[in-house]
Amino acid sequence: MLYYIIVQCLNRLGLTGENISSRRYVGNLTIRKSTIVFLIMLAVSSAGMVFAGDIYKWTDEDGNVHYGDRPTSEVSEEPLAVSSEPTDRSKVQARHEAKAAAIEPAEPTAEELRAQALDREEKCAASKARLQIFLTSRRLYRQDENGERVYLDEDETLAARERVQNQVEEYCTF
């Protein structure tokens, strides 16, 4: 009986097809592939409405809170009012923009700018002094984990001087 009703509805809506390459046979009825896809999507989308039901909350003897979709015999059980509504895209966009604005760094105060400038000047002076030592020293060394001097070879010396020169350029140029 249900099959007959579905077939009659499809006939009246004109959803039966004549295109041989895109048809499926159901009994003596030809149905387009797009109609089958539409019916499947309709069934899947309406499945959520069928399963939507009441939600219950209860607390067991140990004080643990539980949630479920079936009522239990617990004394502390209470049904929860769950509601849903469509998403308002403008509200979501406004929340996103507000969150992004809160994350953006604020303009530094004059005191913070002065402290940054002073720190930069100190690092510049230290880097220049270190570079002067690196340029005038005959041999450079570093201390190993035992406190012993390990002299740098020519490549290591050039690399160390280059690193210090980069620090001078970084801290001393405005």
How much of the chain is in helix, strand and coil states, percent to nearest 5? Answer: 55, 15, 30
pLDDT range class, residue 107, cuts 50, 70, 90: confident
Q: pLDDT of 114-163, one tens digit each?
A: 999 999 999 999 999 999 988 888 888 889 999 999 999 999 999 999 99
Name, in order, each residue with C-beta under 8 angstroms of 29's C-beta and a sequence gap of 6 or more: 7, 10, 11, 16
DSSP state of 107: P
Q: What is the mean pLDDT of residues 39-61?
A: 70
Q: What are the residue ranges spanned by the domains of the chain? A: 2-51, 110-172
pLDDT of residue 74 exceeding 70, the answer is yes
Output the pTM of the full model.
0.38
pLDDT higher than threshold 60 for residue 25: no
Measured distance CA(146)–CA(78) in Å, rounded: 70
Q: Which residues contact 80 (CB under 8 A, 6 or more apart)?
A: 54, 55, 56, 57, 67
Separation CA 39–CA 47 (nearest Å) = 12
Least confident span in 31-35, 67-71, 102-106, 156-160? 31-35
- What is the predicted pLDDT for the residue at 50? 47
